[in-house]
């Protein structure tokens, strides 16, 4: 399948989600692999994520991708900022020539409910009451995905999800989520999006 979801975020930022139905060779011919991935499906996910970068911006310079010690991929000259995520048969990417970006895609799984006390503060569980004791899987996954997107936007690792990424409800009409990232003092706006079987969240700032 070609791209499953695509969205121009602003003049300099594009986002795409790919539903992976192609064999590895489809991607392999077009994209360089940037790390050894032994598991075949994980390898296809990795390649599909890279594939999306040039799909979104045809002049994206694959050959200039470096991978930091934190495992964040980046371009030395910062011609583009980009972020990649994959889960199951989905790969997502966001690319911007101007802003720092972060993206995460998740398939809701009950383990996120079991872990919610580790990544959500009491305040967050109250603010998003569906993520609290009763445990709404969709809400908990959305909040997890938002925090992963912030983690990637930051890119330097070493983030305490519960303390340093503080989420609160944002614009009700736009269905955004606000974030106070205490590590840098940034106020960020997260954009969550639910599809049939996946949850997506992105941040641009």
Ligand X SMILES: CC(C)(COP(=O)(O)OP(=O)(O)OC[C@H]1O[C@@H](n2cnc3c(N)ncnc32)[C@H](O)[C@@H]1OP(=O)(O)O)[C@@H](O)C(=O)NCCC(=O)NCCS
Using CB under 6 A, list all residues that contact ligand X.
Answer: 35, 46, 49, 70-73, 83-86, 104, 118-119, 148, 151-152, 155, 157, 159, 161
Nearer to ligand X, 70 or 168 (CB): 70
Q: How far is the CB of 52 from ligand X (least distance, A)?
A: 11
Return the residue matching tokens 């991929």.
73
Q: What are phi and psi of 118, to 5 degrees?
A: -80, -30
Q: How far is the CB of 157 from ligand X (least distance, A)?
A: 5
Q: Do residues 190 and 203 touch, judged by C-beta distance below 8 A? A: yes
Nearer to ligand X, 58 or 158 (CB): 158
Q: Do residues 54 and 60 touch, judged by C-beta distance below 8 A? A: yes
Nearer to ligand X, 16 or 155 (CB): 155
Taking alpha carbons only, the member of 80, 73, 77, 84 closest to residue 48 is 84
For 60-151, where are the E strands, in sequence order? Answer: 65-67, 73-75, 81-87, 90-96, 101-106
Q: How far is the CB of 105 from ligand X (least distance, A)?
A: 7
Q: How far is the CB of 149 from ligand X (least distance, A)?
A: 9
Nearer to ligand X, 35 or 173 (CB): 35
Q: Label the pairing between strands 101-106 and 90-96.
A: unpaired
Q: How far is the CB of 71 from ligand X (least distance, A)?
A: 4
Nearer to ligand X, 36 or 174 (CB): 36
């Amino acid at each position: 399948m070609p791209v499953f979801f695509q969205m121009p975020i602003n003049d300099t930022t594009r986002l795409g989600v790919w539903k992976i139905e192609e064999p590895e060779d489809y991607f392999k011919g077009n994209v360089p692999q940037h790390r050894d991935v032994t598991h075949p499906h994980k390898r296809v996910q990795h390649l599909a994520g890279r594939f999306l970068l040039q799909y979104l911006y045809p002049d994206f310079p694959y050959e200039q991708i470096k991978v930091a010690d934190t495992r964040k991929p980046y371009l030395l000259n910062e011609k583009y900022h980009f972020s990649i995520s994959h889960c199951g048969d989905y790969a997502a990417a966001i690319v911007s020539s101007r802003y720092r970006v972060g993206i995460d895609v998740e398939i809701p799984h009950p383990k996120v409910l079991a872990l919610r006390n580790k990544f959500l503060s009491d305040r967050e569980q109250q603010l998003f009451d569906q993520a609290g004791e009763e445990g709404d899987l969709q809400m908990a996954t959305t909040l997890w995905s938002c925090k992963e997107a912030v983690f990637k936007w930051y890119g330097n690792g070493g983030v305490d999800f519960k303390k340093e990424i503080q989420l609160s409800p944002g614009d009700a009409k736009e269905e955004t989520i606000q974030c106070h990232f205490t590590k840098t003092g940034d106020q960020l706006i997260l954009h969550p999006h639910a599809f049939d079987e996946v949850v997506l969240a992105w941040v641009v700032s």
